[in-house]
Amino acid sequence: MIRRKSVDAALVLALVLAGYVATCLPGWFWPHYYYLMIPSLVLGCTVLVGRIVESATCLIGGDVVLLQEPKPNTLRRILPCLIIAVVIAALCVTEIRHYLLQAPFGITVKRYNSRDFWGQGQGENVARVTDPDDRIFVFGNDASIYYYAHRRCASRHTMITGLHAGYPGADERRKILLDELSRDPPRLILVVFNEQPWNEWKEFLRKYYGEPIGWDFRDGTRNDPIMFVLARKDRPVPEIDWNWDRSSVGGWLPKSHAPTSFER
């Protein structure tokens, strides 16, 4: 069976294109999907180098034609090289732009919007108004706040997914949470709007905490809150602006699944 090199090059090019469609386009918000393109890119680069060497040999008159195959013209030799080079360059530019040149957490903005940056900003706010030995609690799933605040969580439940209504064992975990928090109520509680409160939780807040000392709003209009902050009645904290500026990192999550008010 005789196979032309141009056929092999076309098959490799098709593999690169198919891989791009199959992995990179669905993974537009997941830049690490580009890693799956490494094998096809290696093959593409190998074919490209081989075609360049072959074309250079032909141009200097050193080409050997086997089986009386007609000698291809220069355009026919160069065109596959150009096509493969353009495909590889486009893929590399895309990867560099959306992955390698991004700031820390920048690659997550496309997938999660600015949640990582938000967690860092609110963690720094917590650190500004509390002492290193203070404990806090985030009624949400943003454990990054603890990390950036350098403050301990007042409960074993650093994320509240297991407390959501309908989860098996949620009632028992809610009792454990309130028992842990009641022993020594945290100085600050940050309530993120991703789970409706239950009656015992609201009673706990009424007992130990006053009105919210700060709010964070999604769009700055004070009509769509993301989070509010509560401080212990007997341990107030300095007043600061908790409304995080998200304009420089692409905004908050594009769709809200949260309630726009909180009944206390």
Beta pairing partners, 225: 217
Provide the pLDDT for residue 96.
77
Query: Which carries the bigger pLDDT value, residue 223 or residue 157?
Result: 157
Q: Is the pLDDT at 253 greater than 60, yes or no? A: no
Question: For the CA atoms of the chain, what is the radius of gyration?
Answer: 29
Mean pLDDT for 160-167 is 83
Mean pLDDT for 79-104 is 74
- What digits encode the pLDDT tens for the residues 166-217? 888 888 999 999 999 999 999 999 998 767 788 898 999 999 998 999 888 8
Q: Domain segments of the chain: what residues? A: 5-101, 109-249
Cβ contact 200:178 at 8 Å = yes
Mean pLDDT for 228-232 is 92
Provide the pLDDT for residue 133.
92
Query: How far, in Å, CA of 231 to CA of 210, rounded?
Result: 7
With vertex at residue 118, the alpha carbon angle to CA 108 and CA 149, rounded to the nearest 5 degrees, is 115
Mean pLDDT for 218-239 is 82
Provide the pLDDT for residue 207.
92
Provide the pLDDT for residue 230.
93
Q: Tokens in use for 26?
A: 């669905």
- What digits encode the pLDDT tens for the residues 141-151? 888 899 999 99
Query: Which carries the bigger pLDDT value, residue 229 or residue 93?
Result: 229
Provide the pLDDT for residue 66.
44
Provide the pLDDT for residue 130.
93
Provide the pLDDT for residue 190.
93
Please report which confidence band the pLDDT of residue 26 belongs to, taking 50, 70 and 90 as the band edges. Answer: low
- What digits encode the pLDDT tens for the residues 56-88? 666 565 544 444 445 555 666 677 677 777 877
Distance between first and last Cα of the chain: 79
Provide the pLDDT for residue 208.
92
Q: Tokens in use for 226?
A: 């993301």
Provide the pLDDT for residue 175.
93
What does the DSSP assignment read for 212-223?
-SEEEESSSSSS
Beta pairing partners, 152: 135
Provide the pLDDT for residue 250.
53
